[in-house]
Amino acid sequence: MAKLPILEGHIIRLRPMEIEKDKYNYYDVSLDEKMHNWTGNTVPKTVDEIEALLRVYEKVLNVWMIEEKASNKVIGMMRLSFPEVHNGELVAGDSQRLHSNYWRKGHMKEARQLMYHYAFDTLGVDMLIADALKDNINSCKSLESVGYELYNTKEEFFEKKGENLMKHFYKLTKEKWLSLKV
């Protein structure tokens, strides 16, 4: 995979992950308990735990760190799976994490727009896919606000909580994204 570009917005910057530097940055972000409430992740105990996680990510994902431009502080991460052909379309998965101090302030919306532009216009992806637990209303609304459409809901075992929960599955086509671009 080619080297990822730095993607600049007005309030955030997406820059390619650098494990040696970002294991400390992302450890700090990952200490936010609220960020893990709706994910399968847990609050890490050590920087080494984060380093091991980032090493796994780099093998299967394009990873950018979300930096707040005003402070140059890492506040989260954007992940895009390596695109694969499914049913004749180039498809990639979209996922992200953002420290709760930055929720509902425009940081994720801008990060998504930058990454979607890269995925659709540079990589030539036809469709992005994402999922969120049905009861994670904020994530569901966030996905829908940028054009994702719900295409399936099913029950899955959520190991972190030890129970079956309903999960929404979403898709965002290039055509839909282009129709919504401002």
The residue type of 47 is V
Enumerate the domain spans of the chain.
Answer: 7-180
CA dist list (Å): 76 to 100, 125, 153, 154, 159: 9, 23, 27, 28, 23
What CATH number belongs to 7-180?
3.40.630.30
CA distance 176 to 91: 14
pLDDT in tens, 61-94: 999 999 999 999 999 999 999 999 999 999 999 9
Supply the pLDDT for residue 46.
92
Residue stretches of the chain with pLDDT short of 70: 1-2, 38, 40, 182
Estimate the crossing angle of helix 19-30 against helix 47-60, to 10 degrees: 120
Supply the pLDDT for residue 142.
86
CA distance 152 to 170: 7
pTM: 0.89
Q: Where are the beta strands (DSSP E) in 41-137?
A: 61-68, 73-81, 84-86, 89-98, 127-133
